[in-house]
Amino acid sequence: MDLRATPAEEAFRADLRAWLATTLPTLPEKPAHTDWQARRAYDTHWQELLFAAGYAGIDWPLEAGGRGASPVEQLIFKEECERAGAPYVGLGFVGLLHAGPTINAEGNEAQRTTYLPKILSGEHVWCQGFSEPGAGSDLASLRTRAVRDGDHYVVTGSKIWTSHAEVADYCELLVRTGTEESRHKGITWLIMDMKSPGIEVRPLKTISGSTEFAELFLDDVRIPVENRVGDENDGWRVTMVTLSFERGTGFVGELLESMRLLRSLTALAKDTGAFGDPGIRRRIGQLSASFDSLWALTKRTVSEAQVTGIPGIGGTVFKLAYSEAGQRLADLSMELLGEAGLAMSPLATSGVDLNNDEWVEAWIKSFNLTIAAGTSQIQRNIVSERILGLPKEPQVTGGSK
């Protein structure tokens, strides 16, 4: 084990730190949470700046417009961005963290050169069309149907939990190309242009009041066969690659954000006097230890990925543990805020912003941590079956309602 930085990594960190120090002050003010067009503009502007400076797709290949550097430098990038308070990946997350890495690993040459550079430059925003009203945890039961018609697939069905569909250019779409009973053997991974005729987007309001998710209704949407990633009916394997990125390294930004939030929460606890309570201190210590170990686990996952190219099963352990630690952090923040945690609008005392609105929103969103990207119950099934080697539950066939 060797965690020492190479001279190249040290130089990368120093250059990045200097670039962030000069660039961040030039950013416009953050847009309102609910203004999706403005948020898209803000996030893609940040992505353009990163791309122009050579900081987009740090571990993506040069041909794809990336930097061709190591995943370690990608981690340093995230660490320094969080430290400097740089914007998070935002609306770009599906393209940058799911679809992009999947196309990079499983797409053909034409797909890589067509889609990857525009994801990196911020020109294209992607959304995810995996889950369906009847196919959540049991994703392999999905029913959105794709029928071959010459050099097109004609797609009909509906999708749900499609993040940022309102402002997306492309969708990573899972469709049923096999028989209804084919389950994971009859799924295909397609790239869908969101401007295609036959797509209806209906925003879905979540418990935080946000419309970050939408439902998609697809009615005879024509998708060129050349937009297929991997073989027909081999989409489940491709999906597992997508999910391994999501679970393996897709939450690194969130983890670093949680670590920053814990630091500000500690400062708040000192300010209010709550830090004098040993119970509060111990909860802070417990969370700090958990987050630090998850950061170390990330480094280990990245070390493994440097050998294999795809994050290993350890990502599932990360997802399971991070989701629950994130919820404990959110719970602690609400207790420390007291009554101020009951207001969703920003409050200030003596002219100082409390940032209660951010904490409250984070608390509501924390309920999603153990649901999105595979519920914690599904993660536990994966851990116990694929790592511990415990037997599967007997299959209940035919039921997918």
Partner 1 sequence: MNFQLSDDQVALRDGLLSLLDGRYDLDAVRSVEGQASVVERSRWAELADAGVFAILASEADGGLGLGRVEAAVALEALGAHLVPGPLVGSIIAGQRMASAASGEVLVGLHSRSAGGSLPRLLELPNDCDGYLVLPGTGEGAAPVTYVERSTLATTQVPTSLDPLTPLAQLAAPIADGEEFSSAADPVRRDALLLTAAYEVGLASFSLWRAVAYAKDRHQFNRPIGSFQAIKHLLADELARLEQARVAVAYAATITDQPEVAVIDGEVNGLSATECTWRAVASAKLLADTAALSAAKTAVQVHGGMGYTWEVPIHLAMKRARVLATTLGTSDHMAEIVAALTR
d(C-alpha 260, C-alpha 254), whole Å = 10
Q: How far is the CB of 394 from partner 1 (least distance, A)?
A: 7
Q: How far is the CB of 384 from partner 1 (least distance, A)?
A: 4
Q: How far is the CB of 30 from partner 1 (least distance, A)?
A: 24
Which phi and psi (to 5°) does residue 63 adopt?
Answer: -60, -30
* Nearest residue (CB) to partner 1, 168 versus 262: 262
Q: Which of 322, 315, 316 shows the shortest CA–CA distance to 299? A: 315
**Going by DSSP bridges, is the β-strand pair 213-224/152-163 parallel, antiparallel, or unpaired?**
antiparallel
- Residue 87's identity, in one-letter code, is P
Reduced to 3 states, what is the DSSP secondary structure of residue 291? helix
* Nearest residue (CB) to partner 1, 56 versus 320: 320
d(C-alpha 270, C-alpha 276), whole Å = 8
- Interface residues with partner 1 (CB under 8 A)? 1-6, 9, 13, 72, 79, 83, 262-263, 266-267, 275, 278, 281-286, 288-290, 292-294, 296-297, 299-300, 302-304, 306-307, 314, 317, 320-321, 377, 379-381, 383-385, 387-394
Degrees, nearest 5: CA angle 90-263-49: 30
| Number of residues written out for the chain | 401
- Tokens matching residue 385: 């079956």
Cβ burial of 143 (10 Å; 0-12, 13-18, 19+) is middle
- Tokens matching residue 19: 């670039």
d(C-alpha 13, C-alpha 254), whole Å = 20
Q: How far is the CB of 102 from partner 1 (least distance, A)?
A: 25
* Nearest residue (CB) to partner 1, 150 versus 278: 278
Residue in 246, 358, 361, 385 annotated catalytic: 246
Whether 246 is a known active-site residue: answer yes
Query: Residue 187 pairs with which residues in a beta bridge?
Result: 176
Q: How far is the CB of 69 from partner 1 (least distance, A)?
A: 12
Q: Which of 95, 94, 112 shows the shortest CA–CA distance to 103? A: 112
Which phi and psi (to 5°) does residue 381 adopt?
Answer: -60, -45
Place of tokens 């420390």: 336
Q: What is the CA radius of gyration of the chain?
A: 22
Q: How far is the CB of 147 from partner 1 (least distance, A)?
A: 37
* Nearest residue (CB) to partner 1, 30 versus 270: 270
* Nearest residue (CB) to partner 1, 222 versus 281: 281
Asked if 240 and 63 count as a contact pair (C-beta separation under 8 A), the reply is no
CA distances, 4 to each of 8, 143, 264 (Å): 11, 49, 28
d(C-alpha 115, C-alpha 228), whole Å = 13
* Nearest residue (CB) to partner 1, 1 versus 110: 1
Q: How far is the CB of 70 from partner 1 (least distance, A)?
A: 8
* Nearest residue (CB) to partner 1, 392 versus 401: 392
* Nearest residue (CB) to partner 1, 238 versus 378: 378
- Residue 156's identity, in one-letter code, is T
Between the two ends of the chain, the Cα-to-Cα distance in Å is 48
Which phi and psi (to 5°) does residue 68 adopt?
Answer: 70, 20
Q: How far is the CB of 370 from partner 1 (least distance, A)?
A: 12
Q: Catalytic residue numbers?
A: 246
